[in-house]
Amino acid sequence: MTAKGFDVCVSGSGAVAMSLALALSAQGWRVAWARPESAVAAPRVDVRTYALNARAVALLERLRVWPALQPHATPVWDMVIRGDDGGQLAFSAWQQQVRELTWIVDAAALERLLGEALRFAAGVQGVPPVSSPADAPAPLLAVCEGKHSATRGALGVSFERQDYGHMGVAARLRASVPHQGVARQWFRSPDVLALLPFHDPELGASYGLVWSVPTARAEALLALDDAAFEAELMSALAQSDPEGAQAVGELSLASARAAWPLALAQAERWSGPGWVLLGDAAHQVHPLAGQGLNLGLADVDTLVAELGHARKTFPWRSPADARTLDRYVRRRMWPTRAMAGLTDGLLHLFADDRGPVRELRNTGMSLVQRLGPVKHWLVGRALDA
């Protein structure tokens, strides 16, 4: 234990902060978990489902959260992505020789179960919120406060943010036709619409909806009553892909709707004396590839591995040693930039409505569809963000 009482102070109350506190505790570090009391009293209500990749699931397995979460998760066997002019990409777990392409999990259940696991984690103690490394009861302050992190601001780290002018509208849906483990996504220019197969409330016939639309349209969609919203959704599907609309059947709302503003953002620095950033506090990507939390959990995995490696090799070093934090930043910067570039590039490609661009992007999709190794590479990147 350090002179400050703890080894690492984790600030934040989302999935990244809780996974980090658990992973550090499993390695025997003494952890101060700084979060507002409200976060403990009332777990967040969240209608979202998250697509979690193989690396994220492996981390949750090691944290012993996955067995409790699995009943709230649905495996995806196939994925069909449609362009706006006949382009199509299809992935299957069988062809890619993986057990499943991804898991769809209940966002609220994930946070609740991480919180429950933390109640029994050795060496983790709740402390009041902190706002700077000097306030933290540990030599290292791990800032996992999400995209609006005040501590990041107080550290003078700028968060370069490019607003997409879109919102992600999310809800749970019931379907009249079983989903058979197929995730579907439509690039409709300017919308991106995704249906993620789920088992709740209707076993084998529910979806998590993520519909990215310009902000004014998102507000209008939220203001509609349920029947009118369902009609808009069905008409959007029927217009862009009558065959796909038939495959999903009639969709009806099974939850409230909520919407999140979408942006691409990156903190200018990810570490400094006595502090390090993880998750959305460090980077924010568009949810079209379902990778934001996957990137955050990969940050957790990498930081904990680097701290463990440093403790074994240089036991006299502080957890806040700049060389350890630099290694973490070097390992995470490239995959995060690559994912941000990919989602941003796709979005811009599909935002351009000129005829030749539309033709090119749809031809490109169909070309990738025929190139087995390229598809395999894309799936590999998505499974291991």
Ligand X SMILES: Cc1cc2nc3c(=O)[nH]c(=O)nc-3n(C[C@H](O)[C@H](O)[C@H](O)COP(=O)(O)OP(=O)(O)OC[C@H]3O[C@@H](n4cnc5c(N)ncnc54)[C@H](O)[C@@H]3O)c2cc1C
- The site for ligand X (CB under 6 A) is made up of 11-17, 34-36, 48, 50-51, 129, 144-146, 149-151, 168, 170, 210, 260, 279-281, 287, 290-294, 296
Instruction: Report in angstroms how near the CB of residue 370 gets to ligand X at its nearest.
Output: 27
Angle subtended by helix axes 372-383 and 355-370, to nearest 10 = 90
**Which CB, 317 or 331, lies closer to ligand X?**
331
Q: Least distance (Å) from ligand X to the CB of residue 186?
A: 16
My answer on whether omega of the bond before 273 falls inside 30° of 0, hence cis, is no
Task: Identify which of residues 30 and 48 has a Cβ nearer to ligand X in the complex.
Answer: 48
CB of 47 to ligand X, least distance (A): 9
* Cα–Cα distance measured from residue 89 to residue 369, given in angstroms and rounded to the nearest whole number: 5
Residues 196, 172: contact at Cβ < 8 Å?
Answer: no
The distance between the two most distant Cα atoms of the chain, rounded to a whole number of Å, is 65
Q: Which residue has its beta carbon closest to ligand X? A: 14
* Closer to ligand X by Cβ: residue 55 or 311: 55
Q: How far is the CB of 85 from ligand X (least distance, A)?
A: 26
Which residues, 6 or more positions from 190, have their beta carbon under 8 angstroms from its beta carbon? 166, 213, 214, 350, 351
Q: Which is nearer to ligand X, 25 or 291 (CB)?
A: 291
- What does the alpha-carbon distance between residue 190 and residue 215 come to, in Å, rounded to a whole number? 11
Least CB distance to ligand X at residue 28 (A): 23
Return the number of the residue (220 or 357) whose C-beta is nearest ligand X.
Answer: 220
CB of 169 to ligand X, least distance (A): 8
d(CA 291, CA 102): 11
288, 346 Cβ separation under 8 angstroms = yes
Nearer residue to ligand X within complex by CB, 139 or 287 = 287
